[in-house]
Structure 1
Amino acid sequence: MSTLDALQAALAEEHATLWTYGVLGARTSQSASPALYDAVTAAYRRHRARRDQLRLLVRDAGGEPVAAAVAYELDGALVRPPQVQRAAVGLEAAGVETLLALVARSSGEVRDWALTEATWSAVWQLELGGAAQTWPGAPELD
């Protein structure tokens, strides 16, 4: 897998993540679950910026950014705060794995950026109520 392929994979992941965070935000009550609402909103904003940066990086690498799908599959019911929270933790975990694949296949500024973003997602899992992991993004090492 080339750097461009890894960038495209990360961009495709971000498209799905943004779509899912949009659904999670719509199913989170600002008045009933303000902390969860704020966490989901902050994550959506960070991922939107990440998606935009990935589009630029793909273009800089000579590629045409992969387009978002019309819709994505959701895993299970997402109607209660614990379900929304688990889904958000899962999004961040998947993002860490994808970004670490980009770290492994890139260098310089792209690698630095991907590592910063992977670290943010690993830490954000904790903000969302996830458990600390010895090797975030590399479950095979646990």
Structure 2
Amino acid sequence: MTTDLTPLQTAVAGEHAALWVLGVVGAQAPEDSTLRERVTTAYRLHRAQRDHLIARITALGGTPVPAEPGYMLGDVSAQTAGYAAALEVEQKAAAIYADLVAHTTGSDRSWAVTALVECSIRQLWFRGSPEIFPGTSELANR
């Protein structure tokens, strides 16, 4: 189990930002669109991840970092911009969870691995492309 709260705090801060961006993208996405459906699902999953992190930090005796009053986001009224913003959310979340995997052990690490995999899969929902994990490119060239 982790006792250093910093990686968990970083992850919860990232989830606060993800929820804010996904909320804006979802509100701008056309009703009955694939984008809105996917963003709504991603929002629910990120909310569950945020809630898990908050509970974990609290259980370890910490006070979770609060959300910022707002976050930088360009115009996402066009669907292509909405897809790009949602993709960026998942890319940033995957990077945060990869760091959490590196800095935790036990059940915290197992949970972070699952969160990382889920973020990676959601990147495909938002027009991302599969990438080789760092350090495995040499294996792919054999």
Matches within 5 A, 1:55-94: 55-74=54-73, 76-94=74-92
Aligned to 1:27: 28
Inter-partner Cα distance in structure 1 for 2:86 and 2:64: 25
Inter-partner Cα distance in structure 1 for 2:97 and 2:9: 11
Aligned to 2:47: 48
Inter-partner Cα distance in structure 1 for 2:93 and 2:14: 7
Inter-partner Cα distance in structure 1 for 2:14 and 2:4: 15
Q: CA deviation at 1:41?
A: 0.4
Aligned to 1:9: 10
| Greater C-alpha Rg | 2
Task: Point out where structure 2 has 5 or more consecutive residues left out of the alignment.
Answer: 138-142
- Confirm or deny: 8 A CA contact 1:85 1:128 kept in the other structure: yes
| RMSD of aligned Cα (Å) | 1.6
Relative distance call for 1:54 and 1:81 in structure 2 (3 A) is: same
3-state SS of paired residue (1:3): coil
Inter-partner Cα distance in structure 1 for 2:57 and 2:136: 30
Relative distance call for 1:141 and 1:9 in structure 2 (3 A) is: farther
Inter-partner Cα distance in structure 1 for 2:60 and 2:110: 16
Give the % identical residues.
36
Task: Point out where structure 1 has 5 or more consecutive residues left out of the alignment.
Answer: none
Aligned to 1:18: 19
Inter-partner Cα distance in structure 1 for 2:120 and 2:31: 24
Relative distance call for 1:141 and 1:98 in structure 2 (3 A) is: farther
Quick one: which amino acid aligns to residue 94 of structure 2? V
Aligned to 1:109: 107
Q: Does 1:38 align with 2:58?
A: no
Q: Deviations over 1:1-36 (max 9, x none)?
A: x731000000000001101111001110123xx211
Is the deviation greater in 57-66 or in 7-16?
Answer: 57-66
